[in-house]
Chain A
């Protein structure tokens, strides 16, 4: 591999930063960037998957201590994501490369479209909590720094959230990404959690999900330590910076920021998948 160490670190810093800001993990930037530099997509996915552990751990540690993360919601749903990630990674091992590019692009654009449609709508607390979600003790409150007040909330529809999280885990394992946008969407739309709780709880379970995917890629020899070292160093630096910033800014600003990045990367991957320029 002839890609310079410095370039890999730089790209990974950008990836880590965007990953933390959006709650998506650094993979959405890393996989397109690495393949663009000539890394095989399966290697790129495997390296991205292990770097996602680093991003998630780094950001989650700050959020968890700020008590925004809902640990119970996270631990219930990661049962579904880890199984999904194992299945997804196993599919990637045997899948042809061109469809991987296409799926990657489509997933990015789908995340983008959903977030765009949702934009501007403020979060409203759920009035009625179903019996299953109550049984799971899905409720909480946190102090919102930007709004200057305590927000209380109750989670709903956990029976839909679980199976959907299997899908999010599958996507994560398949593409080597955190699939944070999908997870955030499930928390937001299906389970009625406030955006900040969604983003931070998603970050927590991304780490474990990525670990399940990593163990599959690891055994297949797709993890090249020469690439992993600079990528992890860069991603952690970027994630740390992004996390510090996220706690201080409003919900809308977070959304608008990553909408543009996702759209461009998604389109690029689809074009490469279609034209075969991989």
Chain B
């Protein structure tokens, strides 16, 4: 469990850093500037991730998309960690208490993603 959670967190951070760094580097090549100028507004986290995924699958690549995917990856990392914890306590440990605790955390996070 420790090893799985540890590597999950590490993988999430590394992937997100690579995506953001690649986005910035690409933007630099395209425009000669390092600081991206665009806004993220009027969207909750699930819509944001949905839009990014849609652009990814339709092949609409851009520096902004890479940076967005990096941010999305970062956000999804602790979220996945909580999800993995639910599965671990429920399926591997059969620990009812901690399955309920982690399920509560997962539900609150999911709710907050949609609500705001």
Contact = CB atoms under 8 A, between A and B. Distances in A.
A219 B44 contact: yes
Interface in B8-59: 8-10, 12-13, 16-17, 20-21, 23-24, 34-45, 48
Given A215-B113, A218-B40, A225 B79 contact: no
Given A136-B97, A215-B45, A229 B20 contact: yes
Contacts, number: 161
| Contact residues on A (Cβ < 8 Å of other chain), bracket | 35 or more
A135 B98 CA distance: 11
Contacts of B82: 208
Q: Is the interface of B mostly helix, strand, loop or mixed?
A: helix
B105 interface: yes
A220 B102 CA distance: 27
B17 A230 contact: no
B62 interface: no
Contact of B7 (A1, A50, A61, A216): A61
Interface of B: 1-3, 5-10, 12-13, 16-17, 20-21, 23-24, 34-45, 48, 64, 67-68, 70-71, 74-75, 77-79, 81-82, 85, 97-98, 101-102, 104-105, 108-109, 112-113, 116
12 contacts: A5-B24, A54-B16, A57-B9, A60-B6, A61-B8, A64-B6, A67-B2, A210-B78, A218-B44, A221-B41, A224-B40, A225-B71
